[in-house]
A and B are shown apart, each in its own frame.
Chain A
Amino acid sequence: MEIKGEYKIAAPRDKVFAALNDQAVLQACIPGCETLEKLSDTEMTAKVRLRIGPVSAAFSGKVTLSDIDPPNGYRISGEGQGGVAGFAKGGAVVKLTEDGGDTLLTYDVDAQVGGKIAQVGARLIAGTAKKLADQFFGKFAESVGAPPPTPVA
């Protein structure tokens, strides 16, 4: 499953890219994020509480930044064990392009789940991933840009 989206952020590209690498910003924007601890510039551990369909679970796992290409973008990926609920993993390729003084952020999300989450919520995953992606990037755009942006796609 692949989910794409685009946000226009009222901030210059360098500022947007810096924010994408700011642990505090990420923690504030990742939906359900309870803790995010930095291990290195590209690795963090996270605890995230999510609800997928009828299953609610706390995932603990890693968040990794890769393919870092300042200020054009990177890939952010996460993999979490949700205990008896199963596991979830996924990531997003984020690209930043200049649009006058603003920045156009495009993302391309992939997600995979396993165990009970897949069993009872497989057909809800696409919708849930889309919603989570919108929550993340929406909040991100809001916290970085001003005034609040609107999704264009």
Chain B
Amino acid sequence: MTAETGIGARVRRKEDKRFLTGTGRYVDDLPLARATYAYFLRSPHAHAKIKKIDTTAAKAMPGVVEIFTGKDTADAKMGGLICGWVVKDKHGEPHKAPAHPVMALDTVRYVGDTVAMVIANSIDEAKDAAEAIKVDYEVKPANVDLARALDKGVAEVHPEAPGNLIYDWEIGVKADVDAAFAKAAHVTKLDLVNNRLIPNAMEPRAAAAEYDKGTGNYTLWSTSQNPHVLRLILSAFVLGIPEHKLRVVAPDVGGGFGSKIFCYNEETMVCWAASRVGRPIKWTAERSESFMTDAHGRDHVTHAELAIDKDGKFLALKVETIANMGAYLSTFSTAVPTYLYATLLAGQYTTPLIYANVKAAVTHTAPVDAYRGAGRPEATFVIETIVSKAATELKMDTADLRRKNFIPSTAFPYQTPVALQYDSGNYPPIIDEAIEIADYKGFEARRAEAKSRGKLRGIGFSSYIEACGLAPSQVVGSLGAGVGQWESAQIKFNPTGNVQVMTGAHSHGQGHETTFAQLVHDKLGVPMDQIEVVHGDTATTPFGMGTYGSRSLAVGGSAIMKATDKIIAKGKKVAAHLMEADVADVEFENGTFKVAGTDKSVPLGQVVFSAYVPHNYPHADTEPGMDENAFYDPANFVYPAGTQICEVEIDPDTGVVEVVAHTAVDDFGNIINPMIVEGQVHGGIVQGVGQALLEAAVYDKGTGQLISGSYMDYTMPRADNVPSFKLGYKVTPCPHNPLGVKGCGEAGAIAAPAAVMNAVHDALAPLGVKHVEMPATSLNVWQSIQGAHRAAAE
């Protein structure tokens, strides 16, 4: 190990060379001999009965190999797509689980629902044939407006979900919370919409599949964040192909942000159809399809109330949320607004009583599921918006009100009233550091200076908590998860001393090939360039749960550490034999086995060679080879926390909001590679700024048409929308994993929306603007300003 490359070093990402030189290998890059190309015909209606599908003319088109419709999947007795997390409602009943056919059978339920799959010799021929498919639709009223989705008389999405209700779930004791509110000196109330987002990974979803008639083996290449889980779902629930006959490969994947966790119908159909047509099939989503059919994120309508005593201490929090599930329940959709949302509502505070009621509704829109942060950004947005609003109403300093209510550092492990037990943390130094970096003291001078230029300047805080590192299997199992959430690792030395590190996690931008190599390098002393991190292939990696929920390092990295321990333990036996010493006297340091108190030593490479060429070897009690497996199931979630401070300037004449400064101070526990962590924080903040200021998935409320379905109408954040970020760290190591690490992948996106919007509200407060919904576009802000002017005039 060296200080330049070990744990804590700013090692440049090994994988970037191929990404930056255009030599990454993505699903669409696969050269498959005799490949055919798939195109999916999609519903142009939000809700319609399919009276008839006529593929006769289309099948006769040039180059067409085969066309499948929902009827073919039903005839093949294909299973439906599953929701893998059973949430029990407030009466203990499991959530409603409407059928989710792989292709629409007799009803389409959102614009983009899959109606037919055309397979042809070229993609253009497939598209031309899709034009010739005649579908006779009987258009029905659509249910699109989430706030009204549960009202009487609204069009129902599924007969299995009367009134469009999937579950009515609660956590906490309402009567206790109500009693606390009755005694409160002050109650702050808040109504908000957490805007619906479209993930927009740089690489659209893609799938390719090949069937080997000789062996009966299928290979599916997919843009998946968790190839083993995808294989498990396809095998056990949907296609019935035995796991050992199905290989799932997720090669280089260009971003996921959650949207590539789920099992989708296109990859299912591509895999299934490959054996039917006897040729490989390739499919890559067009950007329009990504907008329409990738699982969307967020989309809550919430009412919250915070009860506060005369000294500014929080007494109780009450939250009512309607969460949009879209038209079908995606893989983890049910868990997001419950166990990943309501359990986070304590935030960093000692609020002793919390009650949350969440109603999940189906609508005629694309499925909604986990998107960067998944539930935790929604929770943080509720808490941090209402706390800032309370500070304004109480005329208290927004940082002081937070400090007054922080969980003290002496209280850890801290049991919240909403199920989670925070393992570690120390919040006051974080906000102090953020205040220092952001020069909070100098803010009023900056506000005055901005005013002299005609600009409204505002400042906003957001102190977030996150439960990530998903997750202790026993805990998630008791909450309804259909899988365990441990992670696996295999460390396989080759005879010549280089090493392959197999992980069940998957890297699609996070830099595992570097961070994980740093772990092994630091622990075993093998040079960085002698370490290859292998991931994303069920044929070459041990079963693992994949990458989401900021879990790869905390869980997957811990599995790697366990495997290195096994390597060292075995190496000691071999080294003791080679040095004719007692195993108990052998120590391992910097890649070398030594006999304590002597100058005898043998390098790891020589031990590895002896293990593979065991001519002189402790055969009696040691097997040849140097190849160890480990599985790690965490004892608890990890709890990163931090404070972000955002400053905006608003032009009151145009409503344009500019983020002029943004500070983030985080406690991620120990940090392996600060450069990668900074990249994750930067990306997260940018996505959070995107949600706050720019992004919104908009469906026409009457027709259910997706009208923000391209980059003309859906605004992604760009470099010129954000300033250079100022970052800081405070470290309280995680006490229950071997690395002492927490997670950093989602934090930026979790905290940023509230920080930005609190700054917007602060800037607009002098004009009398009370609340602006996200995204705070120039139009939205300008209208809010005009509304305040009108109200003032009346």
Contacts and interface: CB of A to CB of B under 8 A. Distances in A.
A114 B709 CA distance: 12
Contact of A116 (B39, B288, B703, B713): B288
A57 B269 CA distance: 27
Contacts, number: 62
A119 interface: yes
A22 to B, nearest CB: 30
B713 A123 contact: yes
Given A114-B45, A114-B705, A119 B130 contact: no
A120 B703 contact: no
Nearest to B712: A120
A83 interface: yes
Nearest to A57: B131
B118 to A, nearest CB: 10
Contacts of A5: none
Contacts of B707: 118-119, 122-123
Which A-B residue pairs are the 3 nearest by beta carbons?
A: A115-B44, A119-B709, A83-B131
Interface residues of B, number: 26
A118 B288 CA distance: 11
Nearest to B699: A118
Contacts of A112: 703
B288 A120 contact: yes
B59 to A, nearest CB: 15
Interface string B352-380: 00000000000000000000000000000
Interface in A73-107: 81, 83-84, 86-87
A84 B710 contact: no
Interface in B98-135: 111, 127, 130-135
A84 B42 contact: yes
Contacts of A114: 44-45, 111, 703, 705
B706 interface: yes
A113 interface: yes
A118 B111 CA distance: 10
Contact of A119 (B39, B41, B134, B288): B288
B709 A83 contact: no
17 contacts: A58-B131, A81-B134, A81-B135, A84-B39, A84-B41, A84-B42, A86-B44, A115-B42, A115-B45, A117-B44, A118-B706, A118-B707, A119-B291, A119-B292, A122-B707, A123-B712, A123-B713
A117 B703 CA distance: 13
Interface of B: 39, 41-45, 111, 127, 130-135, 288, 291-292, 700, 703, 705-707, 709-710, 712-713
A115 B132 CA distance: 16
B127 A84 contact: yes
Contacts of B710: 119-120
A113 B133 CA distance: 19
Q: Which of B42, B127, B703, B705 has the most CB of A within 10 A?
A: B705
A61 to B, nearest CB: 11
Contacts of B127: 84
A133 B640 CA distance: 59
Contacts of A87: 44-45
A58 to B, nearest CB: 8
Nearest to B44: A115
Contacts of A119: 111, 288, 291-292, 705-707, 709-710
Nearest to A84: B130
A122 B130 CA distance: 23
Contacts of B39: 84
A87 B712 CA distance: 20
Q: Which of A83, A86, A113 has the most CB of B within 10 A?
A: A83
Contacts of B130: 83-84
Contacts of A116: 44, 288, 709
A123 B707 CA distance: 8
A117 B44 CA distance: 9
Contacts of B712: 120, 123
Contacts of A115: 42-45, 111, 705
A34 to B, nearest CB: 14
B661 to A, nearest CB: 34
Nearest to A123: B713
A53 to B, nearest CB: 8
Contacts of A58: 131
Contact of A122 (B42, B44, B133, B713): B713
Given A84-B42, A87-B44, A123-B713, A118 B131 contact: no
Contacts of A122: 700, 705, 707, 709, 713
